[in-house]
Amino acid sequence: MSDAGHTLLLWDSPNIDMVLGQLILRRKPTGKERPRIDALADWLRDRTEPGDTTEAAVFANVTERTFNGVLGWAEVVRQSGFRMFLKPKLSDDSDVDEDILALLHERRDEGRLSEAILMSHDGMAFAEAAKVLIASGIRTTALVFPEHATQLVQVDGIEVVDLEDVPGLFESPLPRLTFASLPREGRWLEPLGEL
């Protein structure tokens, strides 16, 4: 049996889209404001050790209304070497978290998983799984906007990579407000609504 490892990237698309839209942009992101698949693929290839295998999986919920619009994006994702898991969103609480965990557990149980990269801010869903992976000696990375992934980034031993630190992942800087982004002299925050 080979000593080669397996790197697995798990992209929780509904979660990334929600954080990007509701918490950072405060509106629905445009296509140009979403993560670029080619940049993510390059980063993942650069991160993987020679001889290791790499797998990237994108998980998304779709409604009947959004299905056709997602198909074009799914084609781009798949042409970039990523797997795509589409699940019908039949109710408000329909989610892909269990599907993400199922693939993660399957790869871990195969015994070759050397790194799991969790691209999600959902600490409730993934913090315990991250702890188990780390305790098992599997490198575990949170690829997130750290200020919105508090529970996950506080897992002891997890590596945290800021999404904006992936070269070219976003076409332009995002309007994020973090403690580190505050200038010494302070910064005015303009109102988001009207008086």
The owner of tokens 């015994």 is: 111
| Sign of the alpha-carbon torsion through 93, 99, 100, 105 | positive
Q: Rounded CA gap, 116 and 7, in Å? A: 6
Q: For the chain, give every domain's residue range.
A: 6-181
Which residue would you say has higher pLDDT here, 130 or 68?
A: 130
Residue 170: the pLDDT is 95
Contacts 24+ apart (CB under 8 A), 103-110: 103/8, 103/10, 103/57, 104/8, 104/10, 104/129, 104/133, 105/129, 107/6, 107/8, 107/55, 108/133, 108/136, 108/138, 110/6
Q: Rounded CA gap, 182 and 164, in Å? A: 17
Per residue in 131-146, pLDDT (tens digit) is: 999 999 999 999 999 9
Q: In what order do the strands lie in the sheet with 6-12?
A: 83-88, 53-62, 6-12, 113-119, 139-144, 159-162
- Residue 25: which H helix or E strand, with range? none
Cα-Cα-Cα-Cα torsion 9, 13, 14, 18, nearest 10 degrees, comes to 100
Residue 170 is given by DSSP the state S
Which residues are bridge partners to 88 per DSSP? 62
Determine how many CB atoms are found less than 10 A away from the CB of residue 104: 22
pTM: 0.90
Residue 99 is given by DSSP the state H
% of the chain with per-residue pLDDT over 70 = 98
According to CATH, the topology of domain 6-181 is Rossmann fold (3.40.50)
Per residue in 84-127, pLDDT (tens digit) is: 999 998 888 788 999 999 999 999 999 999 999 999 999 999 99
Alpha carbon separation from 185 to 31, 173, 174, 176, 179 (Å, rounded): 35, 22, 21, 18, 13
